[in-house]
Structure 1
Amino acid sequence: MYLYSKRKMLSITGLSVMLLFVLQAQAPVRPLTLQDQVEALLAKMTVEEKVGQMAQVTLDVITKGPNEYVSDEPLQLDPALVKKALVQYHVGSVLNTANNRARTPEKWYEIISQLQNVATKETRLKIPLLYGIDAVHGATYTAGATFFPQQIGQAAMWNRALVRRGAEICAYETRASSIPWAFAPVLDMGRDARFPRLWETFGEDVYLVSALGKEMVDGLEGDDNNVAGNRRVASCLKHFLGYQVPQSGKDRTPAFIPETELRERHLPSFKAAIDAGARSIMVNSGIINGISVHANHDILTKLLKEELGFKGVVVTDWKDIDNLHERDKVAATPKEAVKLAINAGVDMSMIPYNFRFCDYLVELVKEGQVPMTRIDDAVRRILTLKFELDLFKTPVTSFKNYPEFGSKAFEQSAYEAAGESITLLKNTSNVLPLKKGAKLLVTGPNANSMRSLNGGWSYSWQGEKVSEFADRYNTMLEALQKKAGSDAVKFVPGVSYKDDGKYWQEKDVNIDAAVQAAAGVDYVILCVGENSYTEKPGDLHDLSLSANQVALAQALVKTGKPVILVLNEGRPRLISAFEKDVQAVVQTYLPGNFGGDALAAILFGEINPSGKLPYTYPMYANTLVTYDHKPSEEQNKMQGMYDYESDFAIQYPFGFGLSYTTFEYSDLQVDKTVLNPEESFAVSVTVKNTGARAGKEVIQLFTSDLYASMTPDVKRLRGFDKILLTPGQSQKVTFTVKARDLAFVNKDLRWTVEAGDYEVSIGTLKTKIQLSKTHAFAN
């Protein structure tokens, strides 16, 4: 009986097992999620392979050439060096171009295909390479790519849609270059006119930077942040956090930023971009409050990864882990520098010239000085980005699949952007637009330069190689000659830049020749500003325009001919020594390859200018103050008997720009005058074109907290819109503002709105609202 029962039970059990196998075979298999794939790959990796994924070298390190800084031309990879990097050291990322020179899409495809072939076929785990590039106003290291204005010019457009369009084109053409990762946008606050990278920013205001930064992320990555396709790239926000406001005004020098200021002005743009889905962040190269940001655990881990919940990759800037030892002296050895940076929260090191980082980090892990959990966190983020970019299936994209690269449609968008960015700052007696048939003297060092139109990060780091790649585009001189006729245009530079040496050095100073050439012309078009530069090479001691250019301007105004001053500069150089004597001032910023054409069209009235300043243009070296300053910056208003030089003395205000038509604002209304901190209110205004031609107008909404527990800013931008109106046309524009938007960071580091009165202003119109109670929001 027992045996029978046991056999019967075994038989039933066997049937059950068979049935289970049948059911399992019929049940659908759950597909592996991206996270499953990352974890499965991570589990297979050795310490050395993990550390290699955290390493990024520059292209020159793995090419044929005399050393790691110089490559042979024509450019070729060195197979032995490639295998050393990718197979021996398991390097997971490469950046930059070779010999600081743009390449054709065909050459990019050749080089990156060879690299991916080694990474995906000759390494143990076949992990594809992640290639990154500085694509800051287009695919800036690709010959034939479409160049938009630099970010400061894009900010001057005050046009969300056009900023986004530029980013979409940049993503397309970067992918056409076989590159899936763009080091853009720059979300630093351009609040110091002296700083050499101001032109890479969206200006001085946190709302404007946040709004346009989000548009650029959406353009690069798409609405749904699906970067797996071949039309989008992963964005990289630069430079977290508090870059561009050092005490000296010079690049990579110490800054002292109170945490209230850091959170209220420098953090929101990054938070908005992170919320928009940005996949990577580059770290601030500088020092804040005595702590190198690359070694700051509070900023990189507690604030960025924990408080903001950032899940993407944190990458260093160029050689910045080494700088902890070599420059900042916070690490006694290069190995200790690696420990500090990785433990602070860095995921990938832009090494860029050797593999010591890998050796040091492997040792640190084995010695227990860097926990494996920190390594796994970093590598998990890097692998996730590679899977999101679909590099495991499509490690390289081909130029052959991008028929719109450099197309007329793309170029038209860049031309429109240049036209909308250029800002008319002065127009005495409507001297502009120029009359048809007018005879012109075009002069100044920027008049016949494509280099100065584009600025840095244009075909090369400092932009000095622009002439090799941009011959088919028009300088300001060439565009004016085509527009007015070569017989109507004289050209005498008066002052010229040197072709080598430091960017600001000048040669061939012949002011008398320019003055003599002014005889017989109707107008003088004086094109001044700066040559191209970026980062440390752009540091300066004096914000004034160069002495030669000032002398040229002063000599020309004495001729009595109307002088149209054309500024072509990355930051606002001081012009107060002669500005009052010129009839018109036009700011072009760094408008890109189509800046000359756009300027000519504006000067002759074919384009109605609509740009507005994204920063405050200073008048003097000691009045470098932003529009959102504290009331104490204007103490002269409070004086009765003394004439202090304490006024807010500026050349032109933030948000300012003229048009060839006129606009009238009326009927400013708010839908509620008393609200609680959880509510929103609507602000509306009617704008009418009262001039004789169509024009675009930027409507800017400001608020002022009249009294607060911490001294408030005089005003803050809370909204903007850009509209096109035909002559006589009116349009009602409405903004919705949350009470939360009026908050400031209080001494307890809480975003807070306080009960009391607030002023709302658009143009010269003002009204008031009242907050019913004080409230601190969750950060």
Structure 2
Amino acid sequence: MLSGCINKRVESDANAIIEKKVDSLLALMTLDEKIGQMSQVRHFDDITEDEIATKFIGSVIHTQGPAPGKDAKGWQAKFTQLQKKALSTRLGIPLLFGVDAVHGQNTFEGATIFPHNIGLGATRDEELVEKVSKITALEAQATGFNWIFSPCVAIPYNEKWGRVYEAFSESTELTQKMGVAAVKGIQAELPDGRTVLATAKHFIGDGATDFGVEGGNTTISMQEVNTRLLPPYRDALKAGVGSIMVSFNTLSGMPMHANKTLITDTLKTAMGFDGIVISDWKGYSRFGKNEVINAGVDMIMAVDGDLDDFQEGLKQGIEKDSVSIDRINDAVKRILRQKFRLGLFKNPFPDSTLIKSIGSPEHRDIARQAVRESLVLLKNENKALPIDKKTKKIVVVGEHANNTGLQSGGWTVDWQGLTRNYSGATSILDGIKSIAEGEVVYDKDATGNYTDADIAIIVVGESPYAEFFGDIGDGSGTYKLTLSPEHQKYIKTYASKGIKTVVVLISGRPLVVTDQIKQSDAFVAAWLPGSEGDGIAQVLFGEYNFTGKLPHSWPRSVENFSRRFGPNFWDKSIKPLYEYGYGLSY
């Protein structure tokens, strides 16, 4: 009891000291320096190195495009170089370096890649999610970053949305728990040099757009926003989340980036958020320019040619009194506050000793555990699972079985993911071969005619995608709510031979696979497992039991998706094939 009171007093004293430092620094700043702090740019194309200093840039983002260096040492060197430019300015304010590390430090090839959030939601394991997040923070620090744009705490309303896998669950309650665990893991003790600033995103309604359109219109009531969408943010704030990213969608016709009622009145004032509100990509030019600042956005992703337009436009807005200096001061105080909380003024440079931790065996062990716990067994008949290690002949079918890029989904090395194997990752096929004691043959496209196989493990699923590229829409695009005809054929081919058939589905969302489940002896929802494909094999062969439970209700038919919000748990008129929370074990 006494120690708790002492800790609170120490925290209060530390915050008071930071506030004095923030106020003192703000009083010294020119308008150009303040606007510079509100600017986030890429380390390539958007700016020259010298302009980090001359335009007083506050943050650098790394995203799709040229890598900062050839290896982690090179990444750190690049960011150190840019940091030195920022520190060379009159006031020496350090940079924040941000990255979309949404399932591990997924922009760096060779990092540990964890299951996407939908899989973590299936684990129901808060302690594990906190461990995963700590490792993500550590490997992000090891590559030079101090700010992560994660966790996503959206509540998906429709599986047609291309970002379903970035969210933990259709359940608000489960999302609250997983979101808090992620924030705790990412941030921990901020100034210790081994954690980073976390970001809850995307505020708000991004997963609840009509028909699941990325950046579309969200027409739900404010009551539903309050009861279903806001609770994960409230809990993330209590856990101390350092930043909030605003969403692309409109809410009842108003762009969220320009929604002062929700950003300033609700998030900042009513909920008491004192951190950074950051725009999403090109948020200034896309959603109303200075209206975005007036709504309460503190930092702008001024990318793809937006930097001068933002800095000059905001300065003109202040000169013409369409933006108040108080609004600018509020934004800059929030940015400086987090830089002090991170300890960047004392330790602005990355720690080279952390590099050895990237993709370490210890980190991969935790990722493998996450894979095992994320697997949901939907069907198991005819003693198909677990597979006896001594089985004489096993045929493994499908390109997803032998391709770590395909098994990992979007936001893996590249923004839209990979269709090749990447460094440090283990495929599902490799995992099977490492455990099975009998013969294992690989039949990529089900043309091998292995009629003498004792069992077929058929790995099928979606190709990688990210953001709007993964939207399904009317079904005329690349991605469907069903398996491709080729993947349906893989299952039918082996099932029709009378061979015991185990299907492993790799997907970022529940798909309509009702017929394929009927054809198979066992069916596993494996989501997007990341770099440790052998975790799947460990469970298939019974080294570990299935423990995962569905984070989403599972659709029965394509017709379920004709509605605006899709087949989700609050629409009682739709009976799912499997209810939320379903999952078998041995």
TM-score between both structures, scaled by the size of structure 2 = 0.92
Q: In the alignment, residue 113 of structure 1 is paired with which amino acid?
A: T
Against the structure 1 CA distance between its residues 566 and 306, is the aligned structure 2 distance closer, same or farther, given a 3 Å change threshold?
Answer: same
Deviating 4+ runs (over 6 angstroms): none
1:463 aligns with 2:426: no
Against the structure 1 CA distance between its residues 31 and 291, is the aligned structure 2 distance closer, same or farther, given a 3 Å change threshold?
Answer: closer
Deviation digits for residues 627-681 of structure 1, max 9, x if unmatched?
63255x1xxxxxxxxxxxxxx3322221111111xxxxxxxxxxxxxxxxxxxxx
Deviation digits for residues 482-511 of structure 1, max 9, x if unmatched?
2225x71221221xxxxxxxxxxxxxxxx5
SS in 1 for 2:559: coil
1:628 to 550, 563, 569: 569
Q: How far did residue 193 of structure 1 move?
A: 1.3
CA RMSD of aligned residues (A): 1.9
1:490 to 433, 441, 450: 441
Deviation digits for residues 603-630 of structure 1, max 9, x if unmatched?
1111111111111111112325556325
Against the structure 1 CA distance between its residues 119 and 441, is the aligned structure 2 distance closer, same or farther, given a 3 Å change threshold?
Answer: same
Q: How far did residue 402 of structure 1 move?
A: 5.5
Against the structure 1 CA distance between its residues 101 and 555, is the aligned structure 2 distance closer, same or farther, given a 3 Å change threshold?
Answer: farther
SS in 2 for 1:622: helix
Against the structure 1 CA distance between its residues 92 and 287, is the aligned structure 2 distance closer, same or farther, given a 3 Å change threshold?
Answer: same
1:522 aligns with 2:454: yes
2:332 to 379, 382, 387: 379
Q: How far did residue 388 of structure 1 move?
A: 0.9
Aligned to 2:544: 607
Aligned to 1:48: 32
1:432 to 377, 380, 385: 385
SS in 2 for 1:282: strand
Q: In the alignment, residue 600 of structure 1 is paired with which amino acid?
A: A
1:323 aligns with 2:276: no
Q: Is the 8 A contact 1:171 1:232 kept in 2?
A: yes
Residues 688-727 of structure 1: pairs in structure 2 closer than 5 A:
none
Q: How far did residue 552 of structure 1 move?
A: 2.8
Aligned to 2:90: 124
Q: In the alignment, residue 453 of structure 1 is paired with which amino acid?
A: Q
Q: Is the 8 A contact 2:386 2:539 kept in 1?
A: yes
1:448 aligns with 2:439: no
CA–CA separation in structure 1 for the residues paired with 2:96 and 2:15: 25
Tell which deviates more after alignment, 577-586 or 206-215: 577-586
Residues 517-596 of structure 1: pairs in structure 2 closer than 5 A:
517=450, 519-540=451-472, 541=475, 542-594=480-532, 596=533
Q: How far did residue 99 of structure 1 move?
A: 2.0
Q: How far did residue 403 of structure 1 move?
A: 4.7
TM-score between both structures, scaled by the size of structure 1 = 0.70
Deviation digits for residues 101-153 of structure 1, max 9, x if unmatched?
585321221011100111102x1211111111111111112233222211111
Q: In the alignment, residue 570 of structure 2 is paired with which amino acid?
A: H
CA–CA separation in structure 2 for the residues paired with 1:316 and 1:620: 37
Q: Is the 8 A contact 2:157 2:212 kept in 1?
A: no
Q: Is the 8 A contact 1:188 1:244 kept in 2?
A: yes
**Among the aligned pairs, what percent are the same residue?**
34
Q: Is the 8 A contact 1:59 1:97 kept in 2?
A: no
Q: Is the 8 A contact 2:277 2:298 kept in 1?
A: yes
Tell which deviates more after alignment, 562-571 or 427-436: 427-436
Q: How far did residue 316 of structure 1 move?
A: 0.5
CA–CA separation in structure 2 for the residues paired with 1:562 and 1:388: 57
**Count of residue pairs the alignment pairs up:** 559
1:294 aligns with 2:257: yes
Aligned to 2:81: 114
Q: How far did residue 598 of structure 1 move?
A: 1.0
Larger Rg: 1
Tell which deviates more after alignment, 311-320 or 457-466: 457-466
2:300 to 333, 349, 366: 349
Q: Is the 8 A contact 1:433 1:605 kept in 2?
A: yes
CA–CA separation in structure 2 for the residues paired with 1:287 and 1:57: 24
Q: In the alignment, residue 261 of structure 2 is paired with which amino acid?
A: D
SS in 2 for 1:185: coil
Q: In the alignment, residue 53 of structure 1 is paired with which amino acid?
A: Q
SS in 2 for 1:116: helix
CA–CA separation in structure 1 for the residues paired with 2:29 and 2:105: 34
CA–CA separation in structure 2 for the residues paired with 1:399 and 1:574: 47
Tell which deviates more after alignment, 134-143 or 238-247: 134-143
Q: How far did residue 567 of structure 1 move?
A: 0.3
The structure with the greater share of residues assigned to strand is 1
Q: How far did residue 398 of structure 1 move?
A: 1.9
Aligned to 2:7: none
Q: In the alignment, residue 572 of structure 1 is paired with which amino acid?
A: P
Residues 144-159 of structure 1: pairs in structure 2 closer than 5 A:
144-159=110-125
CA–CA separation in structure 2 for the residues paired with 1:429 and 1:617: 23
CA–CA separation in structure 1 for the residues paired with 2:224 and 2:138: 37
CA–CA separation in structure 2 for the residues paired with 1:43 and 1:106: 37
Q: In the alignment, residue 452 of structure 2 is paired with which amino acid?
A: G
Deviation digits for residues 247-276 of structure 1, max 9, x if unmatched?
132211222111111111000001100111
Against the structure 1 CA distance between its residues 361 and 397, is the aligned structure 2 distance closer, same or farther, given a 3 Å change threshold?
Answer: same
Aligned to 1:659: 585
Aligned to 1:369: 322
CA–CA separation in structure 2 for the residues paired with 1:31 and 1:259: 34
Q: Is the 8 A contact 2:46 2:304 kept in 1?
A: no
Deviation digits for residues 140-182 of structure 1, max 9, x if unmatched?
1223322221111111111111011111111111112221111
Against the structure 1 CA distance between its residues 214 and 47, is the aligned structure 2 distance closer, same or farther, given a 3 Å change threshold?
Answer: same
Tell which has more relative contact order, 1 or 2 (C-alpha 8 A, sep 6+).
Answer: 2
Q: How far did residue 427 of structure 1 move?
A: 0.2
CA–CA separation in structure 1 for the residues paired with 2:180 and 2:378: 28
Residues 624-773 of structure 1: pairs in structure 2 closer than 5 A:
624=561, 628-631=569-572, 633=573, 648-660=574-586
CA–CA separation in structure 2 for the residues paired with 1:91 and 1:615: 42
Aligned to 1:666: none
2:367 to 381, 405, 414: 414
SS in 1 for 2:40: strand
CA–CA separation in structure 2 for the residues paired with 1:284 and 1:574: 28
CA–CA separation in structure 1 for the residues paired with 2:262 and 2:32: 27
Q: Which runs of 5+ in 1 are unaligned?
A: 1-29, 64-80, 325-336, 495-510, 634-647, 661-779
Against the structure 1 CA distance between its residues 32 and 299, is the aligned structure 2 distance closer, same or farther, given a 3 Å change threshold?
Answer: closer
1:475 aligns with 2:412: no
CA–CA separation in structure 2 for the residues paired with 1:255 and 1:546: 30
CA–CA separation in structure 2 for the residues paired with 1:524 and 1:159: 31
Against the structure 1 CA distance between its residues 111 and 304, is the aligned structure 2 distance closer, same or farther, given a 3 Å change threshold?
Answer: same
Q: Is the 8 A contact 2:373 2:547 kept in 1?
A: yes
CA–CA separation in structure 2 for the residues paired with 1:309 and 1:100: 38
Tell which deviates more after alignment, 398-407 or 606-615: 398-407
1:36 to 20, 42, 45: 20
CA–CA separation in structure 2 for the residues paired with 1:179 and 1:206: 30
CA–CA separation in structure 2 for the residues paired with 1:543 and 1:420: 25
Aligned to 1:221: 187
1:306 aligns with 2:264: no
Q: How far did residue 371 of structure 1 move?
A: 0.5
Q: In the alignment, residue 162 of structure 1 is paired with which amino acid?
A: L
Aligned to 1:267: 230
Q: How far did residue 597 of structure 1 move?
A: 0.5
